[in-house]
Amino acid sequence: MFFGCQGSSAPGAGAKKEGKLLAEVNGAKITTGDLEWEIKNLPEYVKAMSDSPEARKQILETMIMRELALQQAVKEGLDKGVEYEQRLSYLKKSLIIELYMKKKFETEVQISDAELKNFYDQNIEKFKTGEQIRASHILVKSEEEANDILAKIKAGGNFEELAKENSADSSASNGGDLGWFGRNSMVPAFEKAAFALKDGQISNVVKTDFGYHIIKLTGKRPAGARSFDEVKDQIKGAIMPSKQQEVFQKLKDDLKKNAKISIKEESPSAAGDISDDASKTEKAKPAAPEKK
C-alpha cells in the first residue's frame, strides 16, 4: 500500500487534533486536521494521487490500523525497555538529519519555469487525458439531513461553508472540493450524477454506499492534452527527486571535504566474526613446554 511508503516524517505523530472528527479508535480521535497533516507529509509523488475520496478513505484506513497497532504495542509494554530506548535514540537522530536535509532541499533545489516547460514539450503525450470534471460534494449519513442541507443551498446558503460544517467526507476542510477526475474513478451513481451536471449546477440528493451526496460541478475540460499550467506542479514533482539527488551528492562531498575522518578498519568484520577469530587464535597457541 503506497500510503505506507517512506518519505514523510512520522505521519500523524505531530498532527493537531483540529477539524471535524473522522474516526474514533478506542477513544483516540482522528480528525480532518490529522488527515490533512498526513497528506501534507506524504512524498510528493504520492501526494499527487491523494485527491480522490477513495484515496483519502484509504489513507484514513491506514491511520486507523496504525492507531490500533500503537495501542496494542503499548498494552504489551513495547514503549519501555532497552530496545525501545535504543530505537528512540536512533529515530531522534534520523529526524534531525531529515529536517536538515529538508532545509537543504528547500533552499538549494532550483527548478526554473523554462526547465519545466522543456520537459512538458518533450513529453506532451504523457499529459493527454480523457474528459475530466471538477466537483465538490457534501456527504451525510441520512437522506433527511441531505434534503435539509439542499434546501438551505437552494435558499441561498453557501455550498462550501455548508460542506465544511456538515460533510462527513475528508474533503470537508476544502469546502467539499474533490479536485479533477475522469470517468471510472468514482462509484457509478456518483459519477453518473456528476458528469450529467452543467458547470456550476448542483445535483439533487444522490445515494451511494458511502451515504447521501449533494454534488456541485465546478469545472469541465474536454479530452486532450492538459495545459502546461495545469500540469506544472506535477512535472515539478517528477523532476524533484533527481534534483534532490544532485544536491545530496554535492552536500556529501562538501561535508567530507571539511571533516576529519579516520577509518580504523577498511573492511569491518561483524562483531561475532571478530570474537570467533580471536577465540580460534587463542586455541591455536602452542602449549608451554612442561618443566622437567
In the predicted structure, residue 67 carries a pLDDT above the cut 70: yes
Query: Which has more pLDDT, 228 or 276?
Result: 228
pTM: predicted TM-score of the whole model, two decimal places: 0.48
pLDDT digits 0-9 by tens, 177-234: 999 999 999 999 999 999 999 999 999 999 999 999 999 999 998 998 888 998 998 8
Nearest to 223 by CA among 120, 124, 127, 132: 132
Instruction: Return the pLDDT at 151.
Output: 97
pLDDT digits 0-9 by tens, 94-112: 999 999 999 999 999 989 9
CATH 3.10.50.40: which residues of the chain?
Answer: 131-222
Identity at 31, one-letter amino acid code = T
Determine the Cα–Cα distance for residues 138 and 153; give it in Å rounded to an integer.
11
Determine the Cα–Cα distance for residues 292 and 289; give it in Å rounded to an integer.
9
Q: Under CATH, what is the fold of the domain 131-222?
A: Chitinase A; domain 3 (3.10.50)
Q: What is the mean pLDDT of residues 252-276?
A: 74
- Mean of the per-residue pLDDT values of the chain: 85
146 pLDDT tier (thresholds 50, 70, 90): very high
Task: Give the pairing type, strands 28-31 and 21-25.
Answer: antiparallel
Instruction: Return the pLDDT at 40.
Output: 86
Instruction: Return the pLDDT at 42.
Output: 83
In the predicted structure, residue 6 carries a pLDDT above the cut 50: no
